[in-house]
Structure 1
Amino acid sequence: MPFDPSPTDQLLESTEDGLSQVQKYIICAFAGIVWFNAGELVICCLTTFKRYRGLYFWSLFITSVSLIPMCLGYVFLLFYLGITRFFTVTLIIISWIAMVTGHSVVLWSRLHLVVQSTKVLRGTLIMIIVDAILFHTSVAVLMYGSIPEKDSTRANRFARGYNIVERAQLVAFCVQELILSFTYVWETVKLLRLRPGKHQHHILWQLLIINLVIIILDVAVVAVEFTGYYGMQVMVKPVAYSIKLKLEYAILGKLIKLAKGPSSDPEALSSSLETYTGPSGVSASGSNGVDLSTQEIQNPFSSAPMSQSRLHPEPS
């Protein structure tokens, strides 16, 4: 019997019998990919940043760690291993919140480097907070309500509601990340017009391409959601997020190269980036870390105004 792609009833009942052998192999492969990527991301985060502070560092670290319990929770759900459903649901909900909203905070954090408008920064932050409260709360209530008990009719009603809201929240979070990514791309394009140097121009183009890849991944996740195969799409999401987080390190390296351009006196992406170590472990200065400036750098995520961002050319 083929696996029910979008179950409307008995959402949290054991589904292992409804999975084909091929689907089981694919789900296990996805889980292995996510756990490998998550381990690599956590190690990169702890070794790349020399100072463990700043919104960018913590959002990147928490999002990377959340991939592990996220996948584990869905393995418990799809392959019933005798784990209590309440524990499984709690694991999924907490890790989902950390992964999705955490990644949005990562995207929002680096907007400070290219966006000078405090209205844009404040507006996008409010959007992230409102979406998190609205969708995470409703999905959590519906998912807990779907836990099978003596009253299966009530659980089935919650399950039907969950299937609707779950798709709605995925679309909403996709739109949210698209807004953040498009804002970043738009501001990057504006910088391309202002930066005459070939080196900076090349780096900005690379940043633009990487962000476009992230946008494509967001759209792909939504497309997979509406194909219907529940067991597949819940595992595709953490795979996509692990890839997006890997791309974040590519963006991080490009931003530092851009900030260290000959015509720039940069502010750091985060206070912890003052001593960044590249992937090879050797910095441009020949040491294990890179000083992004010769003077103390102001943390761009503090309450201080952002009007002095050095990624924007100084007016002549």
Structure 2
Amino acid sequence: FVLAAFATLVYYNAIELIVLCLATFKRCGSLYFWCLLITSISLIPHVSGYVLLFFRQDVSRYAAVSLIIIGWICTVTGQSLVLWSRLHFVLHNPRLIKGLLVMIIVNAFLLHTPITVLLFGTVSPRPSLSHTFSVGYNIMERIQLVGFCIQEFILSGVYVWETTKMLRLRSEAHHRRILAQLLAMNVVVLVIDLVVVIVEYIGFYAVQVMFKPVAYSIKLKLEYAVLGRLVQIAQGGSAAAS
């Protein structure tokens, strides 16, 4: 029941996010738009792969794992790219922006590659081989999750720091409220990341793999609240003042 509830919630959130993305942006050419849209769409194949893996024994396990991997890569790295592309609104240091992008690309290669190989190995029809890969997968999955959590912490930290510097130039009360709201949103995102890591280390595999896409869908929803505050900053807080 819990797994079905998580899957239903992810499907609902994903569809809502796709509609929200298409309705919010007047122009569809920005990197921020495409990162949000692709990451939102990727939630669907990711959770669908686990639904097939857990509930449909007549479907090829390799096909299910393929959906899981494709969805996971686009969701996790996509979320980091969402955070990175958002930095362009507040950060005007090309070298730092480029360095953070290199970090995302390198981490994607280092963390996604081994987990992909290991996850395919876990569904091998040979029990001994499947067990060997499962041991490695359980270890690597935790390393991967912590690695991506640290990466998102860095991206969010840079964003908060740069936003703080920007708003310090404006002493009005509504600017301070915007800052407080942005900080609160980023704290919520970090708390969600910590909850995901805790659930991972508790060891309830079926629950945690379905909870992760729920967590990412919630973080994507928070992006639209952040986007609203970015618009207020860009407009000099006029929206808040009115």
| TM-score of the aligned structures, taking structure 2 as reference length | 0.94
Residues 138-194 of structure 1: CA deviation (Å, up to 9, x unaligned) = 111111122222x32122211111111111100100010011111111222222322
How far off is 1:121 after superposition? 1.0
CA contact (8 A) 2:35 2:78 kept: yes
Q: Which has the higher helix share?
A: 2
Contact 2:49/2:67 (8 A) holds in 1? yes
Maintained 8 Å contact 1:63/1:99: yes
AA aligned opposite 2:101: L
Look up the match of 2:4. 28
1:110 alignment partner in structure 2: 86
Deviation at 1:83, TM superposition (A): 0.9
How far residue 202 of structure 1 moved from its aligned partner, in angstroms, is: 1.7
1:194 corresponding residue in structure 2: 169
CA distance in 1, matches of 2:134, 2:40: 29
* SS of aligned partner of 1:116: coil
Q: One-letter code of the match for 1:185?
A: V
1:39-68 superposed Cα distances (whole Å, 9 cap, x missing partner)? 100000111112211210100000001111
Query: How many Å apart are 1:133 and its aligned residue?
Result: 0.6
1:143 aligned to 110, 113, 119, which one? Answer: 119
Which blocks of at least 5 consecutive residues in structure 1 are unaligned? Answer: 1-24, 264-282, 285-316
Q: Secondary structure at the match of 2:123?
A: coil
Report if aligned partners of 1:34, 1:239 keep a CA contact under 8 Å in 2: yes
Deviation at 1:262, TM superposition (A): 6.6
Q: Which secondary structure state, in structure 1, belongs to the residue aligned with residue 56 of structure 2? A: coil
Q: Which has the higher contact order (CA 8 A, sep 6+)?
A: 1
Contact 2:196 2:211 in 1 (8 A): yes
* 2:49 match: 73
Q: CA deviation at 1:232?
A: 0.6
Contact kept? 2:46, 2:72, Cα under 8 Å: yes
Q: Indicate conservation of the 8 Å contact 1:188/1:208, yes or no.
A: no
Query: What is aligned with 1:254?
Result: 229
Bigger radius of gyration: 1
How much has 1:201 moved relative to structure 2? Answer: 2.4
Distance 2:22 2:167 in 1: 32
Paired residue for 1:236, among 200, 211, 217?
211
Match of 2:202, SS? coil
Q: Deviations over 1:58-94 (max 9, x none)?
A: 0000000111111111111222341101100100000
**Match of 2:192?**
217
Contact in 2 for aligned 1:33/1:239 (Cα 8 Å): yes
| 2:139 corresponds to | 164
Return the letter of the residue paired with 1:37. Answer: N
Q: Which runs of 5+ in 2 are unaligned?
A: none
TM-score normalised to the size of structure 1?
Answer: 0.73
Kept in 1, the 8 Å contact 2:45–2:67? The answer is yes
Letter in 1 for 2:62: F
Q: Is the 8 A contact 2:174 2:237 kept in 1?
A: no
Corresponding position of 1:227 = 202
Residue by residue over 1:223-269, the C-alpha shift from the partner in whole angstroms, topping out at 9 and shown as x without a partner, is 11001100110011001100000000001111112211279xxxxxx
Aligned length: 240
Contact 2:62 2:123 in 1 (8 A): yes
Q: Which residue of the partner structure matches residue 127 of structure 2?
A: 152
